[in-house]
Amino acid sequence: MFRKAFVIGLKQLSTIPMSLLAIGVSVNTAFAQQNKIYSPIPISPSHQIADSLSEKDIPTGQGGFARDYLVKLNKGDHLAIDLSSENFDSIITLLGPNGATVGENDDGPDGTSNSLLFTRITETGTYIVRVRSFGETGIGKFKLKVTRLKPVK
């Protein structure tokens, strides 16, 4: 029965106009190009990164830009994520393996426009640390540090 359905499927495929097949190829090509454009940068906890936001990064829709970093975390990890910039008002967001927001911080406890987020990980997986500028504060250099905190003994 499967063989018969497969043969019928091939016959139906041969009746599709070439122009429609070309559209399918174009869509696949566009999708592949989009995947090349969006490629979060892998990082490991406990290393500080010096980087910068530019107009080539992800537009936030509010006049600013964002950049994503991938980090592998384990259930039970306690994290501190520190983001600082002298060029823009920073916001840090941690997205879980399913894309849901785990935590977010706009202004740190020191009263500056830098960001500091503390969180506990409840699911092992690959997370996204999103660095972005608040509103139209724009682009520029920043420092990011993801730290696994050790329990107090």
Q: What is the pLDDT of residues 117-128, one digit of tens each?
A: 999 999 999 999
What is the rounded distance in angstroms from the CA atom of residue 117 to the CA atom of residue 12?
56
- The class level of CATH for 41-149 reads mainly beta
The single residue listed with the structure tokens 């830009």 is 65
Spacing of C-alpha 112 from chain mean position: 25
If we measure between CA atoms, which residue out of 91, 100, 99 comes closest to residue 144? 91
pLDDT in tens, 73-101: 999 999 999 999 999 999 999 999 999 99
What is the rounded distance in angstroms from the CA atom of residue 8 to the CA atom of residue 4?
6
Model-level pTM?
Answer: 0.73
DSSP reduced 3-state for 9: helix
Domain spans in the chain, listed from the N-terminal domain onward: 2-37, 41-149
